[in-house]
Chains A and B, each alone.
Chain A
Amino acid sequence: MNATWSRFNITSIVLGFAFLYLPIVLLIVFSFNESKLVTVWGGFSTKWYVSLFHNQGLMDAAWVTARVGVISATVATVLGTLAALTLTRYTRFRGRVLFSGMVFAPLVMPEVITGLSLLLLFVAVGLDRGFLTVTLAHITLTMCFVAVVVQSRLVSFDRSLEEAAMDLGATPVKTFFQITLPVIMPAIVSGWMLAFTLSLDDLVIASFTSGPGATTLPMKIYSQVRLGVTPEINAACTILIAVVAVGVIIASLANKRREVQRQLDEQAAQRG
Chain B
Amino acid sequence: MSNAAAAAATSPSADAAKSPLARLGAAFVGRLVIIIPYLWLLFFFLIPFIIVFKISLSQTAIAMPPYTPVLDFSGGISGFFDQLKQLSIDNYTWLTEDALYFNAYVTSVIIAAISTVLTLLVGYPIAYGMSRAPATIRPTLLMLVILPFWTSFLIRVYAWIGILKPEGLLNQLLLATGVISQPLIILNTYTAIFIGIVYSYLPFMVLPLYSSLEKMDYSLIEAAKDLGCPPTSAFWKITFPLSLPGVIAGCLLVFIPAVGEFVIPDLLGGSQTLMIGKTLWNEFFANRDWPVSSAVAVILLLLLIVPIMLFQQAQARAQEQGK
Contacts and interface: CB of A to CB of B under 8 A. Distances in A.
Interface of A: 1-6, 8-10, 12-13, 16-17, 19-21, 23-24, 26-27, 30, 38-39, 79-80, 82-83, 85-87, 89-90, 93, 95, 98-113, 116-118, 120-121, 123-124, 136-137, 139-140, 143, 147, 151-152, 155-156, 166-169, 171-173, 193-194, 197, 200-201, 203-204, 207-208, 218, 221-222, 225-226, 229, 233, 237, 240-241, 244-245, 248, 252
- Report whether over half of chain A's contact residues are helix, strand or loop; otherwise say mixed: helix
Contact of B315 (A20, A104, A109): A104
A116 B294 contact: yes
Given A24-B148, A102-B42, A116-B52, A4 B132 contact: yes
Contacts of A90: 30, 33-34
Given A39-B172, A110-B277, A13 B133 contact: yes
Of listed B151, B219, B277, residue having the most chain A CB within 10 A: B151
Interface of B: 13-15, 18, 22, 26, 29-30, 33-34, 36-38, 40-49, 51-52, 55, 65, 122-123, 125-126, 128-130, 132-135, 141, 143-145, 147-148, 150-156, 158-163, 165, 167-169, 172, 199, 202-203, 206, 218-219, 221-222, 252-253, 256-257, 259-263, 267, 277, 280-281, 284-285, 290, 293-294, 297, 300-301, 304, 307-308, 311-312, 315-316, 319, 322-323
Contact of B155 (A137, A241, A252): A241
Given A23-B199, A105-B312, A225-B158, A110 B48 contact: no
A80 to B, nearest CB: 8
B262 A112 contact: yes
Contacts of A166: 13-15
B93 to A, nearest CB: 20
A115 to B, nearest CB: 9
A94 to B, nearest CB: 10
A39 B34 contact: no
Contact of A5 (B36, B132, B160, B312): B132
A9 B132 contact: yes
A105 B133 contact: no
A26 B34 contact: no
A112 B159 contact: no
A83 B36 CA distance: 8
Contacts of A109: 256-257, 260, 304, 308
Contacts of A93: 34
Nearest to B34: A86
A108 B38 contact: no
Nearest to A27: B159
A201 B154 contact: yes
B218 A121 contact: no
A45 B128 CA distance: 41
27 contacts: A2-B222, A5-B129, A12-B128, A19-B199, A26-B162, A39-B168, A39-B169, A79-B37, A83-B37, A83-B41, A89-B33, A93-B34, A100-B316, A107-B311, A108-B257, A111-B260, A112-B262, A113-B297, A113-B300, A116-B284, A140-B45, A147-B37, A166-B14, A169-B14, A171-B18, A222-B154, A240-B151
A121 B180 CA distance: 53
A100 B317 CA distance: 12
Contact of B261 (A79, A83, A110, A173): A110
